[in-house]
Structure 1
Amino acid sequence: MISNKLIVGIVTISFFCISIINALKCYTCYDKQGCVNPTLDSCNPGLANETNLYLNAQFLDVDLNLTHTSYYCLFYTVHNDYTNDIYYSKGCVYKSVDVCSLELRDYRSAVRTCYTCNNNRCNSAEHIKVPTTFIVLLLVGIPKYLMRH
């Protein structure tokens, strides 16, 4: 007869393995230098808590005790108008954290970019791409138009 402890152990291990296989993958970095070549990590409570700690340094009212079973990828930049410093962050956050609505600690700072997303690798800086054909049309078309008129 299978013991209850064995069943609980099998269920726990199965849940953990399924979580790893289905984990959201986000780029992570916490400064300008790190964001030049961010790491790609699978979201998990440890990574979400690490991002929350960094958010707490920049924003007010970050609840460090929040947890959730689902995650978003995050990308934001903050510009301090007084020091002219720019702070970068990419990472995983709990879905229960509304990052882009948080108030900044330093009133001289302003959020320049902030978005969350829930697809693998969606928080890269490459999410906004201009199609090459559009650029070629502009580079060739505008001079031709100007030469005719």
Structure 2
Amino acid sequence: MWKKIVFFLVLVAFVAVPFANSLSCNKCTSPSGCKSPSSETCSNSTANANKNFLEGYHSNVPTVNGSLSFSCANLTYYHAANYTHTFEFLGCVFNETNVCNLALTNTVSGWSRKCVQCGTDYCNPAGTYSSSVYTIVGSAIAVLLAKVLS
């Protein structure tokens, strides 16, 4: 009986942990850094830090005085002629910061923009594992534990 309870609790823990955590996003602030981005958990402090970074390049970044609504963003500027990246940002922002409509402070001709703003873990494209991978691996471990314990 206890083996079944332990198995059930382990399974619930692996499935529930991704839902208990806050939104997680890939994080980088340069084209070279975005080749292997880090991870950040969204909070007012991370979103404010990213707002301050974006203000260095954009003129209309809105001020948000605290929020519980966040998005992951991927903003890339590149030269259309040869697809050379000149600016790249991945990170957590406030939902009210419409990253895709930010205006560049210095407009340079020939630049194009690629932009994604989304609301699920690691949805701003980069090569990292999502929480569903951890759930699948955790479920497989739980099944193996159940077989060993029975």
Encode CA deviations 1:105-127: one digit per residue, 9 max, x unaligned: 1111634211101111111235x
Compute the displacement of 1:75 (Å): 0.2
Matches of residues 1-149 of structure 1 in structure 2 within 5 Å?
21-79=20-78, 86-108=86-108, 110-125=111-126
Counterpart amino acid of residue 98 in structure 1: N
The separation in 2 between residues aligned to 1:108 and 1:77, in whole angstroms, is 14
4+ aligned runs moved over 4 Å, structure 1: none
Calculate the TM-score normalised by the size of structure 1.
0.62
Counterpart amino acid of residue 112 in structure 1: R
Contact 1:25–1:42 under 8 Å retained in 2 = yes
Identity %: 28
Encode CA deviations 1:1-54: one digit per residue, 9 max, x unaligned: xxxxxxxxxxxxxxxxxxx93300100000112111111111111111111111
Counterpart amino acid of residue 75 in structure 1: N
Compute the displacement of 1:59 (Å): 0.8
The separation in 1 between residues aligned to 2:32 and 2:22, in whole angstroms, is 26
The separation in 1 between residues aligned to 2:49 and 2:23, in whole angstroms, is 16
Counterpart amino acid of residue 123 in structure 2: C
**CA 1:66/1:100 → structure 2, altered by over 3 Å: closer, same or farther?**
farther
Counterpart amino acid of residue 48 in structure 1: A
Count of residues in Structure 1 that have an aligned counterpart in Structure 2: 106
The separation in 2 between residues aligned to 1:41 and 1:78, in whole angstroms, is 22
Q: Which has the larger radius of gyration?
A: 1
- Show structure 1 runs of 5+ residues with no match: 1-19, 127-149
Contact 1:78–1:112 under 8 Å retained in 2 = yes
Counterpart amino acid of residue 20 in structure 2: I
Compute the displacement of 1:63 (Å): 2.7
2:103 aligns to what SS in structure 1?
Answer: coil
Calculate the TM-score normalised by the size of structure 2.
0.62
**CA 1:118/1:65 → structure 2, altered by over 3 Å: closer, same or farther?**
closer
